[in-house]
Structure 1
Amino acid sequence: MELSRKHMEVFNSFFLVYVKVIIFLSCFNLLGLATSSPVVGGNDTDRQALLQFKAKITGYRLKVMESWNSSIHFCQWRGVTCGRKHRRVTKLELQHLKLSGSLSPYVGNMSFLRELSLVGNRFYNKIPQEIGRLRRLQILDLTNNSISGEIPSNLSACSKAYSSLSVRNNDLRGSIPPSFGNLSSLEELRLESNGLTGIIPEALGRLTNLSFFMVAENAISGIFPTAMFNLSNILAIDIGGNKIQGTLHFDLEITMPNLEFFSIWGNQISGQIPIALCNASSLDILQLNNNRLTGNVPSLEKLDKLSELQLGANALGRGREGDLNFFCTLVNNTKLLNLYVGVNNFGGALPKCISNFSSTLLHLSIYQNKISGRILDRIGNLIKLEILDASQNQLSGPIPFDIGRHQKLQRFFFDNNFLSGTIPYSIGNLTMLIEVNLAFNNLQGSIPSSIGHCQNLLAMSLSHNNLSGPIPPQAFELPSLSIFLDLKSNYLTGGLPLTVEKLKNLGAFRVSRNRLSGLLPNNLGSCVRLEALFLEGNLFEGPIPSSLSSLRGLVALDVSDNNLSGEVPEFLVSFGALKYLNLSFNDFDGVIPSEGVFKNKSATFVEGNNNLCGGIPELHLSRCNSKTSSDTSLKLKVAIIVVILGVTLVFSCLLILWFRKKKEQPTTTCAENSILQLSYQSILRATDGFSIQNLLGSGSFGSVYKGILEESGAIIAVKVLNLLNRGASRSFLAECEALRNIRHRNLVKVLTAISGVDYRGNDFKALVYEFMEYGSLEEWLHQSINRNESGIMRNLSFFQRVNVAIDVAYALEYLHHHCETTIIHCDLKPSNILLDQEMVGHISDFGLAKILSSDRLNYSTNQSSSIGLRGTIGYAPPE
């Protein structure tokens, strides 16, 4: 009996071993892998498997595995970890090495492998079936590769091993294997960003240890399994970006006390938001956006740990007052960072409780709803806001001045509302602004110059408002502007500021449909990265500047509906990227090219220019007459020769007269003024098209403008005669006669005189003087006008007043007694006494001066500027 008992124990031991072997072999047979690849016994098995793994890797990155050679034990190879007892490979970790190739099936021979991590490489082809035989494998992470094919269903054969399975960001196809429901130890299943289809298997509801279920950005359809809401250990569910349908039922009992992340964005889920979901008090992120949810949003009071709430792009709300009451259930949440409710049906006014939101709020997006009323003044309490988007609503009233408190604001969008009033000057406090869009409102007033403080601005749109006045130069002193600057459809006046040259990185510039005038600045060509330039519907005149030839990246150019003239620039032919060119309704003349963009009828528009000819037949322009062209060319040549001969003759006569006078006059006569060669065009550019912001003053016969010469940068004063006023021409001649041979420290120096025609063919006469920095004496003496631009009072001390009086006396003494011919000013008053930067007085405006004959007793009307009374009639300055 004793021997039998021992025999029985031995037999039982052998039997148990036999059963285990049979089960082990059965596992391989079930997988169909017993003979699928070579199996080598002993420690050499892992070494050979690793070498086969290396053999599948291709490309230059192979050198990162140089340590994989026979000089050292394979357990010391890069990325390889072995167990201490058996010296078998337990981990293979080769993350972010840009390795390229396919996965070797020999990896299935490393039977002690517990972790296989190849994150961030370029492996392609399928996941080998042989990985299914790794019964000890706990972590498989193939994230961020290019692996294709289907997920092998046999990965679940040895079901108690896996704790983490991640193959996100690959090119997998097919469906999620239902056999994954057998992975009872699985804690993390991450399959995001692939091309998976089919449904989410109901069997996954059996994974009681599952904490993370992430299958976002696939093409999965069907209904989310109800059983998965019973997984009490779940922390995160992300099924966003799929085609999942159905509803989140109100009676759905969510038994997920630890749920922190719940995302169903970008699906086709309908119905209302269940109250049960709003009881998940551990929620940190809730993303329900881009679905078909309807109804009101329930109270979110219990979600006091919520940092992000995404409800946008649904059909929530009923378009009436009270839709946003759920905002007030969030005021006690001190962790809320992002709140997105845009693209819904929310109506009514913004609740006042919004000003009680935690100051931690970074993003507030309520765009494209039916929200009405005014912007709350106390919205400035949200001082950490980085994004404020309320565009496409029905908001009215002014933009609160308090907006300047949002000094961390980066994106400020209130376009497509009914806002009125002015743009607050405090917008200049938003120095972190990247984008601002206030288009399609009823804003009035001028663009605040403080916008120049927003030195991080990439894009700005103020289009389709009622803004007026000149564009402040500071708006163009933003070298950061690189996306677009859109000021179209307003009532802006004046010219384009010369500071436009600082927009060197700007991609699109739109000032269409305003009242801008003058010449196009030559330095507009400095904006070398422009792709879209829209200037149509203004009053610009003159030619297209040749400097625009540097804008070789232009895709669209529209200068239609202006007063531009001259020939169509030939350089537009070479603009290979140009796809849209509109020159319509201007005064261009000459031959239109037939190459480049001009050979595309659908891309070129030239109608309304009656003097253009040629071009492709589809443009329907008149044919250019070669005889007429040659006649015109001949006439032009003759005219040029005549002009040159005439100028030479006049210049010769002047030289002869000058030499005669030099012989006749003593050495004490006044020195000749140096001649500054200027034209109407250069004066027009210098004064920015005679813009109102450069206007210094107006008188009986004309206006005086400040100008900056392009060539030298010198500042000048330009007196432009209004030739429609009676006596203006005589005033011009008198002033030229009076100033041509005089020079004194206390007389305003005339630099040159211009007499010609403007671009419209009208007579043009102007005098160019040196610029007096401190204006007229009248501005310093009278309280009503003696403030500078900053509002600071100007005051003259007693000694300064005495000095100015002495300066004037010196000038008069010179005019009366020391000039070749005595000059009587006839209009001496404080407004005609100008002060330079050293507060030295200068007499100006000799338009009414008398020039006496040498005997100082008789004078004729030919020696004076006008006939009859002279000076400011009915007024004698008390000074």
Structure 2
Amino acid sequence: MCLVFNSFVRSVEITIITKCNSIPTFLFRKNILYTARLGMIERGKIKVPTCFVLLLISFLLLIIPCGFCASLNPNILGVDPRDRAAILELQSHFHGFNDGFSISNRSGRLTTLNLSSLNLTGEIHPSLCNLTLLQTLILSHNSLRGPIPSCFNLLTNLKLLDLSYNSFYGSAPQAVATLNQLVVLDLSHNEYSGEIPEWIGNFSSKLERLHLGFNNFSGDMPTTLYSAMSLLYLDLSHNNLTGVVGDFRQALVQLNLDSNLFSGTLPCFLPATKSLSLLNLARNSILGGIPACISTCRELTQLNLSFNQLEYGISPRLVFSEQLVTLDLSFNKLSGNLPSTIVGAPDKSSLLLFDVSNNLVTGEIPSSITELKNLKALFLSHNLLSGEIPERIGNLTYLQVIDLSHNALSGNIPLNIVGCFQLLALKLNNNNISGQIPPELDALDSLRILALSNNRISGEIPLTLAGCKSLEVVDLSSNELSGSLNDAVSKWSKLRFLSLSHNMLNGSLPSWLFTFEAIKTINLLGNKFSGYIPDVISARNEVLFNYKLTSRSGIDISDNALKGAIPAGMFGLQGLEYLNLSYNFLEGEIPAGMGKMFSLEGYWRFPGAFAGNPGLCLEESSCDGKRRPSMLLRDGSEQGLISVKILCVTSFVSFYAGVIGLCCYGQTRNYMLQTKSY
């Protein structure tokens, strides 16, 4: 287009020079303002000659069309005409793109076309098939849809084809079967369905990377994939594939079959013992035990067998090399004791994550775990472990998450646990741990989650815990704690969830209790608190219960010995979704401000939140005979009370899961495998 305009402009220049033969040609291109001097001044007015008009037309014809061409892409002029037409047609179809392609310096033919992340929509235009010398085609991270054009079989020089993160649908594109030079094929994150065709494993003898994950493929894995000798990286994760995982004959480097319906037992992957670095078979239905031969893969860095039906004990012969970074065996039916040796040379181990949670493992925690110097996350929860927490656990100075919850561990919290000074989460809840909370825990100034609930911990909350200023979730419920709420708690300025329920705490509720800016849930149920409920508005009137996780925002101070009237400020807390004040000695009327709290579901759906307070006026007529607002309590108080308590429990569980996910997995598991994502 530009060449045509340039020719036309040149002809106009010749015409102008003929008309104004005294004007040098260079003036047309370099200083068009000079032409103003050619005007004639007559009677105080400027008279513009014909040659000036022609000059102006020439300038516009020269600048505007070629500026338009340049806006398409300055490199397009160097593209071979055979490819230029296809590019212009693609630009028109996709409403323009200005970059993303490169050409061969010798022939001018297009060899690379990268149109990723350009918000392209619609179907692929067939003109793309005219770029027959393309070697790299990347259309990923767009909103393209439809089937792949059948003319793709003309792109026989392609070595890399990436169509990932779009909405292509239908069966696996047959046109790809003729692209026998492909080294990388990525069709992941689309909507392909049906069976994976057999040709996928033998259409290209050079294929090294095949990514078909996050589609809707079903049926068995093609047998040709087991013998595709050039294949190094295979990702079929997040599909609906079935059948038994067989033995691969090639030296795979990465195999990801996560989130399918595979069954049968684990093969040994013997041809890959010197190459396999990632093996992810999580979220399938794999049966049987873990064969010891798996550990012969000496280059293995990531092993994820979680969420299967693996059983039996973990063999003592299952000893991995020091290359292993993540080992996830969670959510299976593994039993027996943990082996004393997991990695052959613990002091040289690279292991960052060790997860055997949600199994049937028994016995004590082996002390050899404390030799895994680089460990960042230890998950042994929901097993049948007994005995005490290893004394030398503080040797793991890089540890960020300790989750030993839901076992039968006993004894005290070891003092040297403070050696884990990078700790973000300490979960020892639901065990049989006794003794007191070590005052030395104040050294864990990065700690964000402290969960010690459902144990036999006694004594007071140590004042030194004021040093744990990063705490966001604190659950000390269902223990034998005594004393009052001291000022240590007031220093946890980032607190989002506080549960001290079912202890023997006493004294009055401090005025700062409802002043935490990020607080979402406060649960003091079943203690011996007495005195008056502090007036929240006078303490801090801008408190918002609005931290958005998966749970409801609320306060539960039921089943104590609180007295007096419900302060009006209690209903000035914005975002409060449930409130349980039942079974205290409160009296008087429910403040009229209740009617303005549209977020408070606990009042309307669970009227039992005020039950068990004989002095409260809950009927249509108040204590002094005045009519109460029509919005107040309805029938079903006992049923409502039960519902409130259920709501509190479910709120705690969902909040706890959400914060654990955000706080622990977000900061710790980004060191680890992409394969662990629950």
Whole-angstrom CA distance in 2 between matches of 1:453 and 1:99: 53
Give CA-to-partner distance per residue, 1:657-711, whole Å, 9 cap, x none.
xxxxxxxxxxxxxxxxxxxxxxxxxxxxxxxxxxxxxxxxxxxxxxxxxxxxxxx
Of residues 380, 395, 398, the one that matches 1:381 is: 395
Give CA-to-partner distance per residue, 1:398-453, whole Å, 9 cap, x none.
10111212110001111100000001111111111121111111100011222222
Alignment of 1:595-606 (within 5 A): 598=633, 605=640
Whole-angstrom CA distance in 1 between matches of 2:637 and 2:146: 48
Give CA-to-partner distance per residue, 1:294-352, whole Å, 9 cap, x none.
1222334342210111111111123xxx4433447562442111111111111101112
Of residues 108, 130, 140, the one that matches 2:129 is: 108
Which runs of 5 or more residues in structure 1 are unaligned? 1-41, 68-77, 608-879
Q: Which has the larger radius of gyration?
A: 1
Name the residue aligned to 2:91: 54
Alignment of 1:23-38 (within 5 A): none
Alignment of 1:35-114 (within 5 A): 43-57=80-94, 65=97, 67=98, 78-114=99-135
Give CA-to-partner distance per residue, 1:384-404, whole Å, 9 cap, x none.
100100000000011011121
Of residues 212, 215, 234, the one that matches 1:191 is: 212
Q: Per the alignment, do residues 450 and 131 of structure 1 end up closer, same or farther by CA in structure 2, a change over 3 Å counting?
A: farther
Amino acid at match of 1:52: E
Name the residue aligned to 2:550: none
Name the residue aligned to 1:279: 296
Name the residue aligned to 1:485: 498
Alpha-carbon distance, 1:264 to partner: 0.5
| 2:323 counterpart of 1:305 | yes
Of residues 178, 184, 189, the one that matches 1:157 is: 178
Partner secondary structure for residue 426 of structure 2: strand
- 8 Å CA contact retained: 2:582, 2:612: yes
Alignment of 1:691-840 (within 5 A): none
Amino acid at match of 1:433: L
Query: What TM-score, normalized by structure 2, do the two folds share?
Result: 0.76
Name the residue aligned to 2:597: 575
| 2:363 counterpart of 1:348 | yes
| 2:199 counterpart of 1:179 | yes
**Alignment length, in residue pairs?**
540
Alignment of 1:609-648 (within 5 A): none
Partner secondary structure for residue 421 of structure 1: strand
Name the residue aligned to 2:249: 230
Amino acid at match of 2:467: H
Partner secondary structure for residue 346 of structure 1: strand
| 2:474 counterpart of 1:460 | yes
- 8 Å CA contact retained: 1:575, 1:596: no
Alignment of 1:492-641 (within 5 A): 492-523=505-536, 526-529=542-545, 531-581=553-603, 582-586=609-613, 587-589=615-617, 592=620, 598=633, 605=640
Q: Per the alignment, do residues 597 and 174 of structure 1 end up closer, same or farther by CA in structure 2, a change over 3 Å counting?
A: farther
Q: Per the alignment, do residues 355 and 255 of structure 1 end up closer, same or farther by CA in structure 2, a change over 3 Å counting?
A: closer
- 8 Å CA contact retained: 1:254, 1:276: no
Partner secondary structure for residue 444 of structure 1: strand
Give CA-to-partner distance per residue, 1:809-868, whole Å, 9 cap, x none.
xxxxxxxxxxxxxxxxxxxxxxxxxxxxxxxxxxxxxxxxxxxxxxxxxxxxxxxxxxxx
| 2:439 counterpart of 1:451 | no
Give CA-to-partner distance per residue, 1:59-108, whole Å, 9 cap, x none.
xxx5xx2x4xxxxxxxxxx1111112221111111233333333222211
Amino acid at match of 2:168: I
- 8 Å CA contact retained: 2:243, 2:262: yes
| 2:284 counterpart of 1:267 | yes
Q: Per the alignment, do residues 536 and 174 of structure 1 end up closer, same or farther by CA in structure 2, a change over 3 Å counting?
A: same
- 8 Å CA contact retained: 1:387, 1:410: yes
Of residues 217, 225, 230, the one that matches 1:204 is: 225
Whole-angstrom CA distance in 2 between matches of 1:48 and 1:602: 77
- 8 Å CA contact retained: 2:611, 2:637: no
Of residues 356, 371, 374, the one that matches 1:360 is: 374
Amino acid at match of 1:165: L
- 8 Å CA contact retained: 1:201, 1:225: no
| 2:153 counterpart of 1:132 | yes
Alpha-carbon distance, 1:600 to partner: 8.2
- 8 Å CA contact retained: 2:245, 2:266: no
Name the residue aligned to 1:678: none
- 8 Å CA contact retained: 2:321, 2:344: no
Alpha-carbon distance, 1:499 to partner: 2.2
Give CA-to-partner distance per residue, 1:34-70, whole Å, 9 cap, x none.
xxxxxxxx94442332233334436xxx5xx2x4xxx
Whole-angstrom CA distance in 2 between matches of 1:499 and 1:272: 54
Q: Per the alignment, do residues 590 and 325 of structure 1 end up closer, same or farther by CA in structure 2, a change over 3 Å counting?
A: closer
- 8 Å CA contact retained: 1:315, 1:344: yes
Query: What TM-score, normalized by structure 1, do the two folds share?
Result: 0.59
Alpha-carbon distance, 1:591 to partner: 5.1
Q: Per the alignment, do residues 502 and 555 of structure 1 end up closer, same or farther by CA in structure 2, a change over 3 Å counting?
A: closer
Amino acid at match of 1:487: L
Q: Per the alignment, do residues 127 and 517 of structure 1 end up closer, same or farther by CA in structure 2, a change over 3 Å counting?
A: farther
Amino acid at match of 1:485: L
- 8 Å CA contact retained: 1:513, 1:537: yes
Amino acid at match of 2:566: I
Percent identity reads 28
Amino acid at match of 2:617: D
- 8 Å CA contact retained: 1:282, 1:305: yes
Name the residue aligned to 2:142: 121
Q: Which has the higher contact order (CA 8 A, sep 6+)?
A: 2
Whole-angstrom CA distance in 2 between matches of 1:564 and 1:125: 66
- 8 Å CA contact retained: 2:343, 2:349: no
Whole-angstrom CA distance in 2 between matches of 1:367 and 1:139: 44
Amino acid at match of 1:200: M
Alpha-carbon distance, 1:190 to partner: 1.0
Amino acid at match of 2:414: P
Q: Per the alignment, do residues 44 and 597 of structure 1 end up closer, same or farther by CA in structure 2, a change over 3 Å counting?
A: farther
Amino acid at match of 2:577: V
Q: Which moved more, 1:283-292 or 1:443-452?
A: 443-452
- 8 Å CA contact retained: 2:619, 2:633: no
Q: Per the alignment, do residues 467 and 55 of structure 1 end up closer, same or farther by CA in structure 2, a change over 3 Å counting?
A: same
Partner secondary structure for residue 467 of structure 1: strand
Q: Per the alignment, do residues 173 and 540 of structure 1 end up closer, same or farther by CA in structure 2, a change over 3 Å counting?
A: same
- 8 Å CA contact retained: 2:331, 2:358: yes
